[in-house]
Amino acid sequence: MIALWLIAQLAFAPAPEPAATPEPSAAIAPADSPITISTRISPDPSNIGDLLELEVVAAFPRGYSVNLPVGAAFAPLHLVDVGEGEPEVTGDGLRKTFRVRLQHFATGAAEVPAFSLTYVDPDGAVATVPVPATAFTVDSLLANEADPERKPEDPPISIEYPNTLAETVILSVLATTAALLLVWLVLRRVLRRRRPAPVVPAIPPHVLALDALTELEQSELLVEGRVQDYYLQLTEIAKGYLERRFGVPALDRTTDEIRRDLLRQAARIEPLTPTELIEFLQRSDLVKFARFHPEETESREALGFVRGAVERSKPVQEAPKPPPAANVEAPAKEEAS
C-alpha cells in the first residue's frame, strides 16, 4: 500500500516551473548624452559563487568612441574579468557590447553597483555616461528543507603503517641547508680572489632616451594596433629623461603631480617649457586611460616631439681648444760683413 501511495504522489505531482530567463533592462539615455545604455545580467537567480555575466550594450552615433575605464570598481562583488566587442553598425549609428564577469558570495537580493562609461566625441572632448545599478538574486546551496541538519562525523580510521613524513621533511631541510652552506663557503673563497671590476661610466640621459626612442620607432606596436602600449613606452621614456637630465621627479607620478613641479621649476628645464611638456602628457593620458585612438601619423609625430625635446635640451659639449701657437721669432738676418 505504501508503494502504491508513493507512485500516485509522483504521478500527480505538479511539474517544476522552468527558470525565468533574465530580460534586458530598458535602454537608458541621459538627457544631455548621445549615448544609450542597456544592461542584462545572467544567470538570475544564481547560486553562491556562480559566474555572473553583466552585459552592457552602448548605442552611439558615428564619430564617437565608447570605452570602459580601467579600474572600474564593482565592490562588494568580485571582478573576474572584463571583455569588450568591436563596434557594430546599426542603421545610422554604432553599437558596442561590454561583458563584465563577476562573482557574489552572499545570498538574497543584490545588485551590481552603478559605474560609468567614457566616451570621446568627434571634437576629441572626453565625457562619461552613467551605467545604472543592476539587481539580481542569489539563492542558497543548502538542502531544500525547513531545518537542514548536518550529517554526523565519520568514524576515525586507524593508520597501520608508520608515518615518516615529518622525519623525511626534517632530514631534507637539514641536507639542503648543509649543501647551501657549503656552496656559500666555496663562492666566498672564490670571490675573494677576484679583482674588483672596473667602474663603468654612467650613460648620459640623452643617449639612453635617444636609443630607447629609436627602438620604439622600429617596433611593430603601431602596425599591430597596440597604440596604448606605444604611448605607455613613449611617456616612460620622456619621464625618465626629465628625471635623469633635470632632476624633476616624473617616474611613477601622475600628470598633475608632474605639472606642479614643472611650473615651479620652469627655469631648470630650459630650453624646454612646462606648457609643451604638460600638453604632451595630457594628450598621452587620453590614449592610455580614455582609450582614445589617434591616427598613426599623430602617434609618430608624438615620438618626434620627444626626440626633438631631447635634442634641444641635451648638454652641449664644448669643442676642445687648440693648443696655443708657439711664438717663433724669425732668425735675425746676418749683417753683411
- pLDDT exceeds cutoff 90 at 325: no
Contact 124, 77 (CB under 8 A): no
Q: Looking at residue 207, what is its pLDDT? A: 93
pLDDT in tens, 9-25: 555 545 544 444 555 55
User: Per-residue pLDDT tens for 221-267?
Assistant: 988 989 999 999 999 999 999 999 999 898 888 999 999 989 998 89
Q: How far apart are CA 207 and CA 141, in angstroms?
A: 63
* Whole-number pLDDT of residue 328: 46
Q: How many CB atoms lie within 10 A of CB 93?
A: 16
pLDDT at 176 (0 to 100)? 94
**What mean pLDDT do residues 317-326 have?**
60
- Is pLDDT at 61 greater than 70 in this prediction? yes
Helix (H, G, I), strand (E, B) or coil at 40: strand
Q: What does the DSSP 8-state code read for residue 35?
A: -
Q: Which three cell numbers stand for residue 336?
A: 753683411
**Looking at residue 3, what is its pLDDT?**
52
* Per-residue pLDDT at 196 exceeds 80: no
Q: Which three cell numbers stand for residue 183?
A: 656552496
CA distances from 271 to 124, 241, 277, 308 (A): 30, 14, 12, 11
E strand or H helix that includes residue 195: none
| Rounded average pLDDT over 193-205 | 70
Q: What is the pLDDT of residues 75-121, one digit of tens each?
A: 889 989 999 999 999 888 999 999 999 998 888 899 999 989 899 99
Question: Coil, strand, or helix at residue 287?
Answer: helix
Distance, CA of 42 to CA of 112 (rounded, Å): 12
Q: Is 136 exposed, middle or buried (0-12, 13-18, 19+ CB in 10 A)?
A: buried
The confidence band for 165, taking pLDDT boundaries of 50, 70 and 90, is confident
Would you give the DSSP letter of residue 75?
A: T
What is the predicted pLDDT for the residue at 63? 87
How many angstroms from the chain centroid is the CA of residue 59?
26
Tell me the CA distances in angstroms from 62 to 91, 247, 296, one per residue in order.
Answer: 10, 45, 20
CB contact at 8 A, 35 and 66: yes
Work out the number of other CB atoms within 10 angstroms of the CB of residue 333.
6
User: How wide is the angle at C-alpha 284 spanned by C-alphas 282 and 285, nearest 5°?
Assistant: 65
In this structure, what are the phi and psi dihedrals at residue 283, rounded to the nearest 5 degrees? Answer: -65, -35
Residue 78 contacts residue 104 (beta carbons within 8 Å): yes
Q: For 28-42, what is each residue's pLDDT tens digit?
A: 555 678 899 999 999
Strand order in the sheet with 126-131: 65-67, 115-120, 126-131
